[in-house]
Amino acid sequence: MEDNKKITILKNGPYVVSGSVPLSHQTIKTNEDGESTSWVEGDVIPTTSTYSLCRCGGSNKKPFCDGTHAKIEFDGTETAVHDPIIAQAKLIQGPEMQLADAKHLCASARFCDPNGKVWNQVKNTTDPDVRSNFIRQVGCCPSGRLIAIDNATGKSIEPTLPQSIGAIQDPHKKCSGPLWIRGGIPIVSSDGEAYEIRNRVTLCRCGKSKNKPFCNGAHASFPKFHE
């Protein structure tokens, strides 16, 4: 991990991204039944070595900040806890794997739903096909709400993700989603305290989350949030 990559949250202001972190669109692909099946890498969004991303949802230059937060007196008070994710999660035991579920971090990406839902799959992970689907679907969860843990090693199984940021698009729900922070980029709160470094994190960019700075799926509610 490159130590110079970092996201700093400004009080009632934007996310300041430093260290030349790549930014691109990431689109949720669904099947004919509307189930989320995979991620589609979109266009790279040109940036500089340091840039600011909108957190209030009101910028006219999304995903970048244009100062609207000051005009609308945006309340960006961070209410999320700093505890390790595993301490926030409920553990569901299966024969070969566990599922850690921190429900309050749900970003409404819905990769958990296909193939009978991951909460049921974990109980049948002795079946190689079920295990494969379980690991893949849990790994696609952008927020890291869901974590697959191998009982034999006690370690989580994580997808390999580049240190980058994805501006999520959700055509099926006809809205834009949160900022998908990938590959373990440090995030520092407005009071200077760092959050746990995780491989998968989603940051709110509609301004409506009740678990700021993290997404809680508010963007999918009416009125729809669009980049």
Q: Tell me, what's the pLDDT at 1?
A: 42
Residue with tokens 């309340």: 75
Helices (H) and strands (E) counted in the chain, each on its own, are 4, 13
Task: State pTM to two decimals.
Answer: 0.96
* Residues 6+ away with beta carbon under 8 Å from 153: none
List the pLDDT tens digit at each of the 227 positions of the chain. Answer: 446 999 999 999 999 999 999 999 999 999 999 999 999 999 999 999 999 999 999 999 999 999 999 999 999 999 999 999 999 999 999 999 999 999 999 999 999 999 999 999 999 999 999 999 999 999 999 999 999 999 999 999 999 999 999 999 999 999 999 999 999 999 999 999 999 999 999 999 999 999 999 999 999 886 788 88
Asked if 212 and 80 count as a contact pair (C-beta separation under 8 A), the reply is yes
Backbone angles phi, psi at 135, to 5 degrees: -65, -45
Q: Provide the pLDDT for residue 222.
A: 67
Distance CA 142, CA 180 (A): 6
> How many angstroms from the chain centroid is the CA of residue 92?
21
Specify the pLDDT at position 2.
Answer: 46
pLDDT of residue 44: 97
pLDDT value of position 73: 98
Q: Are 139 and 157 in contact (CB under 8 A)?
A: yes
Q: In this predicted structure, what is the pLDDT of residue 198?
A: 98
CB under 8 A, 24+ apart: contacts of 69-76: 69/12, 69/13, 69/14, 70/13, 73/12, 74/12, 74/13, 74/207, 75/12, 76/9, 76/11, 76/12, 76/13, 76/190, 76/207, 76/212, 76/213
3-state secondary structure of 32: coil
What pLDDT shows up at residue 223? Answer: 73
